[in-house]
Structures are given as structure tokens and as C-alpha cells.
Amino acid sequence: MRELLNTLFVQTEGAYLSLDQDTVRVEIDGTVKLRAPLLNLGAIVVFGRVMLTPALIARCAVDGRSVVWMSSTGRFQGRLEGPVRGNVLLRRAQHLAALDETRTARIARQIVAAKIQNSRQLLLRVGRDSEAEDRNRLAMAAAELADILARLRAATELNVIRGLEGEAARAYFGVFGRMVRVDREELAPDGRTRRPPRDRTNALLSFLYALLRGDCQGALEGVGLDPQVGFLHSLRPGRPALALDLMEELRPSVDRLALALINRRQIRREHFDLLPGGAVYLNEAGRKVVIVAYQERKAEEVEHRALKEKVAWGLVAHVQARLLARYLRGDLAEYPPYLAR
Amino acid sequence: MEEVLISAIEHWSYCERQCALIHVEGTFEENVFTIRGAIAHERVHSGEITVEHGVRVVRGLPIWSDRLGIHGVADVVELRPEGPYPVEHKVGPTGRHAALQLCAQALCLEEMFGQAVPRGALYSHGTRRRVEVVFDAALRAETEAAIAAIRAMIEEGRLPPAPNDRRCRHCAQRDVCLPAATGEPARLRALQRELFTLPPDEG
């Protein structure tokens, strides 16, 4: 598989990024803090008030290197996109598949099945090392997921598949807090909350999902798929439905990272800002811890069963985008989703 | 008529799917072998015209055949008194695949110059030697058949299956082609069954 390139994250307010020959130069308060060769960079992600020169932006567009803008709280704002790349035949196949109810449902079912498998595996894995009551509750949720998976197997209608996905997510997040082992009262969520996240664990998950979403969207565009035309997620203007689809298989991997950060006390209460009214966000120090951990996770190798090959976890989104492209172009009988194991 | 690039012929001869990935799907991935080739051709495709041993030599000459609907760029064409003599530079092997590509160049040159082009050469960067190729009737027929097959593939937007054999090992299009997935349907079917089967309970 291709080389996993680095991502440059810049979250210092007022940082100034410019193109210097074939490197990107990062200045903070008039001092050059870093020169990074563009050759090694797959993406640049900036948070809040960070400036990029037009020359740097243009160069990234031409090279197909993604630039992602995030708000200072880590919400996705936008991505730089270069010339339309890839293959019009592939995009047409994608659009035709999206119009075909049978094929749409088949892709959605594959994605949901993998998400359930991967979520269930996490519940059982964490449960093995948990105290009796937590272990029981996690095992019960895992059994519920198994039951949903069995019903999913026979599901052919998209609405039924979406309903089962929702059911699985409720069962999973209903016990998510039982996988949090430290400061459970303060950190553990009561289900999944977003827009805004209302507890620390949800704030952490939201931030990690935003990083993952940027990577998934980049992977799809790199392969030449239209990130807005999804199968599990319905079409809405401005919604990267296919990027959201692709994320589903990978969310449990990111959840596992979030739990590790909490349970190893790498992320602590001082890494969060609590806003009046109840919204919770990671602060700059917290985001730094998470970004470093996310980058390390991306470099870890996993066995990719559909390829029979070890790949860096950070490349799984690229591999899945390519497998989806191969399915849409008629090379594969089914889209093979990512099974973590 | 759909135009075919002369370089597609060598791709097609090596692997029909590789040719389709590049010329139907429009993907082109680079690896160390393609980059070596590109560097070698940068020198060849300088566009200069020189005189060597009394013969005019053109580098990077645009060539085409309206009859066959093909076009491309010839690395080196020696304009000898008896007719043009194409020399194709190769970083990789100079076997049958390259000979077909060279023959297509000869067919173009015959149409462009109105002169017979009975022979040409493949120059290997590895051995620094020329191998002469004679454009006999069999090679010409094979070349024209390859062009027709490539055109049909492009027009249909067809993607042949992955061979998933030793050819794949050094292929730059491997990451796009995914031969281990697309070339092993039985294994993928087994994986598909596992997707809806629970692993032996770890709980």
C-alpha cells in the first residue's frame, strides 16, 4: 500500500504558514517555528485563526494535498479541493448506484454490519477486563448487537437497515460509560450527545470524529468518488454523506482510542472547557494530546483482511474508498467493509 | 473513432487491466519504475534535432496515424536516407510488449513520411544496447489487432479482471487495481459470509 504521509496540524492562533521552495514554513509571532518538506505532507489541518498564503494554498491544490480548516473548538469548517480528479465513469457509477434502491441498500447493509461487528468486538474486548457488573452489562449489549446483526442479515430495505443501525447505536452508547474506568461520574456519558457535546467523553469523541471525517473525505476525493453522494446517509445539501458512510466502519477504532486516552489518564478534566449551559469542548492542550495520539494510531499497522495485507490504520479509509470504487465499477460482487480484528 | 495513445499498446500487451486502469479509468500511479522511466524520457523528449554521423536525429517527435486513429510521441527518430528509423528508449524489458509499441510508431511514420519503415530499434538503458526489430507482416497484424482491442475496451469503458499473478508485484497500478481483492472472488465470498457470522465468543 501507499506510504502514509504526515499531517501537519497547526492550532496556534495567529500562526502564519507560507510556501518556501518545496517546504511549508510556519511562523508564530514573526519567528520561524518549523519548516516541513511538502513531499512528506499528505494534509495540513489548521484550527481557528491560522493564516495560509495564497501561494501555499495553490500549491496544495495542484498537488492534491488536502487543507482542512477547523474552528478553534475543532469543528470541521471546510476543505481545499483541487481540480476535479479521477474518473467520470466512476462518479457516474456512483450516482447510478445511489439511484438504485437495491444496490444502495446492499452497500448500506455492508457498512452497518461492519460497524456492528466492530462495535461489538470493542464491547467484548473491554468487558473482558471489567468488573462483574460492567462486564455483564457490556455482554448484554453485545448480545443485543448480535441479535440486530442477525436481523440485518435478512434486511433488504434501506429504511429497515437505517432503523437497525439506530437501534445498534442506542444499545452501544447506552453502555458506553461502562467502558470508562476513571472518574466515571465526571467523564462518562449518558448516551451520545452532539451539537454540542454535553460531557467530556462526548466532547472527545466529537473531536476525534471530526479528524476522522476530514481523513475520510480526503480519501474519497483522492480516489475520485463524490463525497456527497452516500448510501447509508441520505443526500442533504452540504452533507458529505459518503464520507459519513465511510466513517461508520472506523468509528469503533476511534472510540477505542478515546477510551484508551481516558482510561490511561492521558486526557484529564483540565483538558476540557465547560461552557455555561452545559456544552463541553476540548481545549487547546487537550486537542494537542488527542492529535498526537491520533497520529500515532494512524501509523499503527493492522491486518486488512480484504487485501490480505498489513496496512497502516491511517490508510484504511483510502483502502475502503478504493474497494468501494472497485465495487461500483463492477469488479467486486459486494463492497467489502473493514472488519477490525 | 476513439483515439488511442501509442503508449497504451505496451500497457495492454503487458496486462489488459493495467491498460484499462490507465486509459479507461484515467488513473496513473507512480512507483520507482515509472519514475525511472519518466526521468529517462525527460532527456529523450528534449525536442531537439541534432545531426549524428550525417543523419538528422529528432527527439520527442509527435507522431500519428489517421488511418489507425493513434498518436503519441516517438523518443528518437533517425531520418536516414532510406527512410525514418524509430528508436524507443526502455528502462524496463525490450521484449514483445515494447516491439508492438515500436511497430505502431513505424506505422505512423510510414503514413507521415510516405516511406517504408521496415526496421527500428529498442534501446535498453540497462544494457546500453540497441536491439533491432523488424516490422514483419505478423508484427504489423498483431499491432493493428492490439489497437482495435484497446479501442473497443475504451469505447465500452470495460475493465478486464485482475490477473493477480507475478505481473502484479512491480505494477505501479497495484494500489488502484487491488488484485488481492478483485482477483480472488472466492476469498472475498468467504469474508462476506463472515461479515454476518459471529466470531467464537470472546466474552
Report pLDDT digits (tens) over A182-215: 877 777 777 777 778 888 888 999 999 999 998 8
For the segment B72-125, what is each residue's pLDDT rounded down to a tens digit? 989 999 999 999 999 999 887 778 899 999 999 999 999 999 999 999 999 988
DSSP annotation string for A161-172: HHHHHHHHHHHH
Q: Range with the lowest mean pLDDT among A27-31, A86-90, B96-100, B134-138?
A: A86-90
Pairing of strands A66-70, A76-79: antiparallel
Instruction: Tell whether A55 is within 8 A of chain B (Cβ).
Output: no
Q: How far is the alpha carbon of B62 from chain A, nearest alpha carbon, in Å?
A: 26
Rg (CA), chain A: 20
Predicted confidence at residue A3, as pLDDT, reads 66
Instruction: Tell whether B192 is within 8 A of chain A (Cβ).
Output: yes
Q: Report the mean per-residue pLDDT for chain A.
A: 89
Chain B nearest-CA residue for A121: B202
Run of H or E including A179: none
Q: What is the ipTM of this complex?
A: 0.73
Nearest-angstrom CA–CA distance, B114 and B8: 25
Instruction: Tell whether B196 is within 8 A of chain A (Cβ).
Output: yes
pLDDT reading at B203 higher than 50: no
Ranges of H-type helices in B50-163: 96-113, 137-156
pTM: 0.79
Q: Do B175 and A153 make contact, defined as CB atoms within 8 angstroms?
A: no
Nearest-angstrom CA–CA distance, A15 and A56: 14
Instruction: Tell whether A331 is within 8 A of chain B (Cβ).
Output: yes
For the segment A250-294, what is each residue's pLDDT rounded down to a tens digit? 999 999 999 999 999 999 888 988 887 778 889 889 999 999 999
Predicted confidence at residue A1, as pLDDT, reads 58
Residues B128-154: what's their mean pLDDT?
95
pLDDT reading at A18 higher than 90: yes
Phi and psi at B168, nearest 5°, equal -70, -20
Ramachandran assignment for A267, one of left (phi > 0), alpha (psi -120 to 50 degrees), beta (any other): beta
Contacts of A113 in chain B (CB under 8 A): 195-196
Q: Which residue has the cell 521496415?
A: B118
Mutation target among B27, B178, B201 for the A interface, most CBs of A within 10 A? B178
Contacts of A89 in chain B (CB under 8 A): 24-25, 157
Residues B173-200: what's their mean pLDDT?
86
pLDDT reading at B192 higher than 60: yes
Q: How far is the alpha carbon of B7 from chain A, nearest alpha carbon, in Å?
A: 19
Chain B nearest-CA residue for A308: B180
Predicted confidence at residue B130, as pLDDT, reads 92
Mutation target among A2, A145, A331, A335 for the B interface, most CBs of B within 10 A? A331
Instruction: Tell whether A153 is within 8 A of chain B (Cβ).
Output: yes
* CB contact set of A79 (below 8 Å; sequence gap of 6+): A66, A67, A68, A69, A214, A217, A218, A221
Q: Report the mean per-residue pLDDT for chain B.
A: 87
DSSP annotation string for B44-66: HTT--EEEETTEEEEEEEEEEET
